[in-house]
Amino acid sequence: MALKKVDTAVFISGNGTNLKNLIRFSLSKKSPIKIKFVVSNNKNAKGLRYPKKFNINFKVYSFINESKSENRILKDLKNKKIKLICLAGFMKVLSKSFIKKFGYKILNIHPSLLPKYKGLNTHKRVIENKEKFSGCTVHYVNSKLDSGKIILQKKVKIRKKENYKVLERKIQKQEHILYPKAIMKVFSP
Ligand code: GAR
Q: In this structure, what DSSP letter does residue 104 have?
A: S
Given a contact cutoff of 8 angstroms between Cβ atoms, the answer to whether 95 and 73 are in contact is: no
C-alpha to C-alpha distance for 136 and 114, rounded to whole angstroms:
8
Q: Which CATH superfamily is domain 1-103 in?
A: Formyl transferase, N-terminal domain (3.40.50.170)
What confidence score (pLDDT) does residue 144 get? 85
What confidence score (pLDDT) does residue 1 get? 56
| Helix (H), strand (E) counts: the chain | 6, 7
What confidence score (pLDDT) does residue 143 get? 82
154 Cβ contact list (under 8 Å, min separation 6): 135, 136, 174, 177, 178
What confidence score (pLDDT) does residue 2 get? 64
What confidence score (pLDDT) does residue 163 get? 94
Domain spans in the chain, listed from the N-terminal domain onward: 1-103, 112-189
Ligand 1 closest atom vs CA 88: 18
Strands 33-40 vs 6-12: parallel, antiparallel or unpaired: parallel
DSSP readout, 28-67? STT-SEEEEEEEES-TT-GGGHHHHHTT-EEEE---SSHH
70 Cβ contact list (under 8 Å, min separation 6): 94, 95, 97, 98
CATH 3.40.50.150: does it fit domain 112-189?
A: no
Identical topology for domains 1-103 and 112-189: yes
What confidence score (pLDDT) does residue 146 get? 86
What confidence score (pLDDT) does residue 3 get? 74
> Of 158, 143, 154, which Cα lies nearest the Cα of 101?
143
Ligand 1 geometric centre to CA of 20 (Å): 12
Q: Which of 48, 175, 179 to mutate to test the pocket of ligand 1 (most atoms within 8 A of CB)?
A: 175
C-alpha to C-alpha distance for 53 and 73, rounded to whole angstroms:
22
Query: From atom 17 of ligand 1, which residue's Cα is the shortest distance away?
Result: 17
Verdict on whether the full-model pTM lies above 0.95: yes
pLDDT below 50 — which residues of the chain?
A: none
Ligand 1 closest atom vs CA 21: 18
